[in-house]
């Protein structure tokens, strides 16, 4: 683990590198997604989206919120090496059991969840569940170690490999849904390999007592994590149950474009995470408020760009078959923008050990999402799912930000970006450019 306090220049350079790397990974991944969606068509893209949604949901439920327990216990546990070893063992075991349970559940329901014609693909994809669980644990530990560079490196390499594979197969006319899933597996396996090299977990450091303590702590947050992920994925699953795979494919494109807002802004929350789990409550609250402001500013800027180009770019880039994705894309933007601004509040609440409060708010938003989907999807299809999600995300954002404002005594006005935030960004960038242009110290 690295120790010591980083200089402002080093922090600014590290932040810019992380943001640049994340943007590169998102851009390359988006290109691969566009090529794959155009090649296999909306129906197969819908099947792919459902399989990925079920696999990622399974991995999240199988995590038992261990990654949240890492945040809660970070300042108390001195043996960080044991946390890494435990993450590897617990992740493989829990992920394996979750994959078996998911297979039994899906197959037992025929084509209700995943089309029977895709059960073979689904079985192969379930192999990734234990790897996804270990990846989530490992990346979270790297964030806590303040080593976001290793996480970014894994994402960048994986995005490049995925894009090369998709482009090569598409140009040779061999790209099918099976190969799209194989390409997606690279975005799991490669970041995991990079994370494990960075963490270097040693099985001899496995601590059974710490493992049980971590599991007990994580289970306190499991209802929240399960509700949160279902909040983000229930729209796809309900749309699949109530319509057809083409509608799911159209909606998946809308989601993938809209999620660029969340992905672009999430790196700021990840950079702030180490400072949200140590120090006084007031210091953590002030850091959280600053990141909320910066995330809100980032979300507004990225949303503005997407609003300007999205309606024209989606049919142009994805093809005329995806023109119907524009309406759900527009309906999703307000909700995703709210989520992006909210991204840094949850770690603050976890640090204060308020599992029931955060779980109640998330479950309430999930309930709103499910009810709205059931009411709107029969009439509006994919657009109804998008409206439902936006409303639910907005409910969650208002609830969590209201709670944070009251708990921290930080007013709503101080959660909105202002001139000082823009000025500070300019100062950091100017300092970084100066240091880059003149890297040698003055005599």
The arithmetic mean of pLDDT across residues 332-348, rounded, is: 79
Identify whether residues 257 and 193 lie together within a single domain. no
Asked whether residue 228 is domain-assigned, the answer is no
Asked if residue 397 lies in contact with residue 405, where contact means CB atoms within 8 angstroms, the answer is no
Asked whether residue 131 is domain-assigned, the answer is yes
Query: Last residue of a domain, which of 179, 195, 220?
Result: 220
Banded pLDDT at 443 (limits 50, 70, 90):
very low
Asked whether residue 336 is domain-assigned, the answer is yes
Identify whether residues 269 and 161 lie together within a single domain. no
Identify whether residues 202 and 288 lie together within a single domain. no
Identify whether residues 379 and 255 lie together within a single domain. yes
Asked whether residue 68 is domain-assigned, the answer is yes
CA-wise closest residue to 232 among 122, 340, 393:
393
Identify whether residues 287 and 401 lie together within a single domain. yes
Asked whether residue 1 is domain-assigned, the answer is no
Identify whether residues 178 and 294 lie together within a single domain. no
Q: What is the CA radius of gyration of the chain?
A: 21
For position 383, what pLDDT does the model report? Answer: 93
DSSP 279: S
DSSP 239: H
* Domain count along the chain: 2
Reported as a single tens digit per residue, the pLDDT across 237-263 is 888 888 888 888 888 888 888 777 766
Least confident stretch, 226-230, 354-358, 363-367: 354-358
Asked whether residue 225 is domain-assigned, the answer is no
Res. 441: pLDDT tops 60: no
pTM of the predicted protein model: 0.70
CA distance 326 to 145: 40
- In which residue are the tokens 């180009």 written? 309
Asked whether residue 430 is domain-assigned, the answer is yes
For position 81, what pLDDT does the model report? Answer: 87
Reported as a single tens digit per residue, the pLDDT across 262-308 is 666 666 666 666 665 666 778 878 888 887 887 888 788 888 888 88
CA distance 3 to 435: 23
Query: Last residue of a domain, which of 165, 194, 220?
Result: 220
Banded pLDDT at 5 (limits 50, 70, 90):
very low
Banded pLDDT at 432 (limits 50, 70, 90):
very low
Identify whether residues 141 and 46 lie together within a single domain. yes
- Give, for 377, the enclosing helix (H) or strand (E): helix 355-380
Buried (b) or exposed (e) across 400-430, using 16+ Cβ within 10 A?
A: bbebbbeebebeeeebebeeeeeeeeeebee
Asked if residue 274 lies in contact with residue 146, where contact means CB atoms within 8 angstroms, the answer is yes
CA distance 16 to 186: 25
Query: Which residues form the domain of 404?
Result: 234-434
Query: Last residue of a domain, which of 220, 254, 279?
Result: 220
Res. 148: pLDDT tops 50: yes
Identify whether residues 355 and 326 lie together within a single domain. yes
């Amino acid at each position: 683990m690295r120790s010591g306090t980083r200089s402002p220049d080093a922090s600014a350079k590290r932040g810019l590198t992380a943001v640049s790397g994340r943007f590169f990974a998102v851009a390359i991944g988006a290109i691969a997604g566009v090529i794959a969606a155009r090649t296999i068509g909306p129906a197969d893209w819908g099947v792919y989206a459902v399989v990925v949604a079920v696999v990622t949901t399974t991995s999240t439920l199988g995590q038992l919120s261990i990654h949240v327990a890492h945040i809660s216990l970070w300042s108390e546990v001195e043996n960080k090496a044991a946390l890494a070893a435990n993450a590897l063992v617990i992740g493989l075991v829990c992920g394996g059991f979750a994959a078996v349970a998911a297979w039994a559940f899906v197959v037992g329901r025929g084509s209700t969840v995943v089309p029977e014609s895709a059960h073979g693909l689904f079985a192969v994809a379930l192999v990734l569940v234990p790897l996804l669980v270990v990846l989530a644990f490992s990346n979270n530990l790297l964030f806590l170690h303040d080593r976001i560079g290793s996480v970014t490196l894994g994402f960048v390499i994986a995005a490049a490999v995925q894009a090369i594979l998709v482009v090569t197969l598409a140009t040779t006319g061999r790209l099918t849904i099976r190969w799209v899933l194989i390409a997606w597996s690279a975005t799991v396996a490669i970041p995991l390999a990079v994370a494990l090299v960075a963490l270097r977990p040693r099985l001899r450091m496995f601590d059974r007592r710490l493992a049980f303590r971590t599991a007990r702590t994580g289970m306190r947050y499991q209802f929240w994590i399960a509700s949160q992920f279902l909040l983000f994925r229930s729209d796809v699953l309900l749309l699949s149950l109530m319509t057809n795979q083409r509608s799911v494919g159209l909606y998946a494109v809308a989601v993938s474009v809209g999620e660029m807002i969340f992905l672009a802004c999430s790196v700021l929350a990840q950079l702030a995470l180490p400072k949200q789990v140590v120090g006084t409550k007031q210091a953590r609250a002030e850091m959280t408020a600053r990141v909320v402001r910066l995330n809100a500013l980032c979300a507004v800027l990225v949303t503005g760009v997407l609003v300007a180009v999205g309606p024209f770019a989606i049919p142009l880039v994805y093809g005329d078959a995806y023109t119907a994705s524009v309406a759900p894309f527009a309906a999703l933007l307000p909700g995703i923008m709210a989520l992006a601004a909210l991204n840094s509040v949850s770690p603050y609440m976890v640090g204060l050990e308020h599992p029931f409060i955060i779980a109640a708010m998330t479950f309430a938003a999930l309930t709103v999402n499910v009810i709205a989907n059931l009411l709107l999807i029969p009439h509006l299809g994919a657009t109804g799912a998008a409206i439902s999600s936006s409303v639910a995300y907005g409910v969650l954002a208002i609830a969590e930000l209201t709670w944070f404002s009251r708990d921290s005594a930080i007013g709503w006005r101080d959660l909105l970006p202002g001139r000082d935030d823009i000025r500070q960004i300019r100062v950091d960038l100017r300092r970084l450019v100066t240091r880059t242009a003149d890297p040698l110290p003055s005599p």
